[in-house]
Amino acid sequence: MIIGIDLGTTNSLVAALVDGQPAVLPNALGSKMTPSAISILDDDSLVLGHAATQRLITHPERSVAEFKRDIGTARTYPVANRTYSPQELSSLVLLSLKQDAEMCLGVPVTEAVITVPAYFGEAQRAATRDAARIAGLNVERLINEPTAAALAYGMDHEDVELRAVVLDLGGGTFDVTVLEILEGVIEIQSSAGDSRLGGLDFTRLVATELVPQIARSVRTYQEDASTWARIIAACERAKRDLTEGEEAPIRLPGLLSGKETCDLEASISRAAFETASEPLLRRMTGIIHRALRDANLSPGDVDEILLVGGATRMPCVRRCAEDLFGRPVSTDLSPDEAVVRGAAIQAGLKQGARAVEDIVVTDVAPFSIGVSVSASMASRLVTDLFEPIIDRGTVIPCSRVERLMTLRDDQTTLLVEVYQGEHAVCRDNQKLGAYEIRGLPARPAGEVHIDVRLTYDLNGLLDVDMTTSDGQTHSLFINRGALAMSETDIAKARRSMQRLKFHPRQALPNVHALERAEALFLELTGEPRKLLQTALSGFRLQLESQDLTRIDQARARLLSLMSMLTNTRR
């Protein structure tokens, strides 16, 4: 069984093809979405998802989230007196999703199709593979998130002929993909994006620009991780409230500012939020136009606008898309589930499932790939020039060749350096690898040539084949970014992760309820706080009794009270 995974910045999902249809699989709490958050208890027990998001507020030094934004970089995160790479933290989320899938499907799972932002570079893709390997998953395919969403749309619209654009605004990234659907064939025509633009950035606008009491002391708040986590959680709630209403309250009693505490009471209007969001919307619009230019299209050439990612629910995002394209957006796709459903369909294609055998999907290279060259200009040698061999937007898999010449008389060596990016000089692009060819025949400049062939596949793996004019052949296989992990590193990471103990699955609802209650306790004052304290104490008492029936009843009472108190606060 191959599963499909949407590894998200804020939430992750897992799905599989069941009876010919993509099915999103629930976690132990019955929820289809698992927050991409990790927390480690005092006994090295590990909690993930909803409970971990609550512990970001109550135990910030032992909790972490948003690490996907840094996958493929050298950044590390301190958690519970240890440091973890984004790959290691992501592996814990993947392992949790793997276990959820095994529980739902009743079979072991070792293979997965994992979605990535279309604008992820090679280092980020390699790091995602490494995270999966640490979790014990073999990656059958990395598929771009908008392409996955297009698969989900195409499966339900096999008979249509149209050109569509997918706007995918998740928690941490924004991707745009232009595609054409014709008789079950989904042809990706272009992709563009920004791996540092997402719903989190809109949330931070609320915190840093729209609430003066926060903005004046934002540095102090950020130094106190627990307080900053409370602020971000409150601003996220306000942002979501503005999706339905014209105004949203923010209430934060007992907010720490330096050595003092204050009760923050504020409100935010949708108009003020949308005005503050204009710079982010302009960034999005620029990316959309770039994707359209690469596909040689204008907004009027597009038949359907498909919105993907929870952040596309914001009215300003929807209106921005409708104003740009001059037509209403489609509501056929679930913003939260479209990507993981597409991943499940791709998993079905890899397994040869008959239900999806008529679907064909192509993809394109998100970045240009080429080599470093030098040129003689006005009697001067100009070096570090980028010579693209595969242009961005080229349908993959593909193979392209470029001929390079020697520049100096009697030149017997040549360094082939491979880069990815769109800048004219190589130092501004990402270096993927290098190979030095030696033993070239000593001839006058330009008489010796090297044919460099780049072959790029759907998983982002790159073959570099080099053939010299005297018949020498050389090859370089690039399948990892500069920071990718070796087999030794993977084994070491697995051993490190094994010391963390997953809570028994049956205990997860209890852990989740406790952490939610503790986080809410921080927010309350007066009589509501006393009521919660009583219910919380009763629940803890039942946990000690080991009576599962009484535990379930006490948990239900606690959750019901928390729901009432939360609604009252609003």
Is 160 within the bounds of a domain?
yes
Domain count, the chain: 3
Instruction: Tell me which residue range forms the domain holding 537.
Output: 505-569
| One domain, residues 411 and 318 | no
Phi, psi of 227 (to 5 degrees): -65, -45
In a domain, 171, yes or no: yes
The answer to whether the bond into 249 is cis (omega within 30° of 0) is no
Same domain, 416 and 332: no
Residue 483 has pLDDT above 60, yes or no: no
Which residue shows structure tokens 């102090």? 220
| pLDDT tens digits along 111-132 | 999 999 988 888 899 899 999 9
Work out the number of other CB atoms within 10 angstroms of the CB of residue 84: 22
For residues 7 and 26, give the distance between their C-alpha atoms in angstroms, rounded to a whole number.
15
In this predicted structure, the answer to whether residue 505 has a pLDDT above a threshold of 50 is no
Could you tell me if 303 and 450 lie in one domain?
A: no
Looking at the fold, whether 61 and 160 belong to one and the same domain comes out as yes
**From 70, 145, 201, 294, the catalytic residue:** 145
- 19 belongs to the catalytic site: no
Shortest CA distance to 308 belongs to which of 335, 337, 339?
335
CATH of the domain at 442: 2.60.34.10
pLDDT at residue 415, as a whole number: 93
Convert the pLDDT of each residue in 126-167 to its tens digit: 899 999 999 999 999 999 999 999 999 988 877 778 999 999
Q: What is the pLDDT of residue 481?
A: 47
Query: Has residue 314 been placed in a domain?
Result: yes
350 in active site: no
In a domain, 215, yes or no: no
One domain, residues 186 and 321 = yes
Give the whole-angstrom CA distance, residue 243 versus residue 315: 6
* 477 assigned to some structural domain: no
pLDDT for the residue 395? 87
More confident residue, 174 or 367: 174
Question: How large a percentage of the chain has pLDDT more than 70?
Answer: 93
Q: Evaluate whether residue 509 is within a structural domain.
A: yes
For the segment 56-70, the average pLDDT, to the nearest whole number, is: 93
pLDDT: is 38 or 362 the higher one?
38
According to the model, what pLDDT value does residue 491 have?
Answer: 84
For range 485-503, the mean pLDDT: 75
- From the list 100, 168, 180, 515, the catalytic residue is 168
Helix (H) or strand (E) holding 177: strand 174-182
| 400-451 residue pLDDT tens | 999 999 988 999 999 999 999 999 999 999 899 999 999 999 999 889 999 9
Q: Report the sign of the C-alpha dihedral through residues 263, 264, 267, 270, in that order.
A: negative
Q: Examine the fold and report which residue of 364, 394, 422 is the final residue of a domain before the chain moves on.
A: 364
What's the pLDDT at 352?
Answer: 85
pLDDT tens for 444-472 read 988 999 999 999 987 777 899 999 998 89
Annotated active-site residue 98? The verdict is no
**529 shares its domain with 444:** no
Q: How far apart are the first and last CA of the chain?
A: 45
Is the per-residue pLDDT at 312 higher than 80?
yes
Across 346-364, average pLDDT: 85
Which residues make beta-bridge pairs with 387?
371
Q: Which of 6, 100, 122, 194 is catalytic?
A: 6
Q: Which residue has the higher pLDDT, 513 or 296?
A: 296
CA distance linking residue 545 with residue 518, whole number of Å: 21
Residue 507 has what pLDDT? 64
| 256 is a domain residue | no
Give the pLDDT confidence score for residue 482 in this predicted structure.
46
Mean pLDDT for the chain overall: 88
Structure pTM?
A: 0.83
What mean pLDDT do residues 526-554 have?
82
Respond yes or no: is residue 384 known to be catalytic: no
User: Does the residue 557 lie in any domain?
Assistant: yes
Rg (CA), the chain: 26
Options 32, 66, 68, 175, the catalytic residue: 68
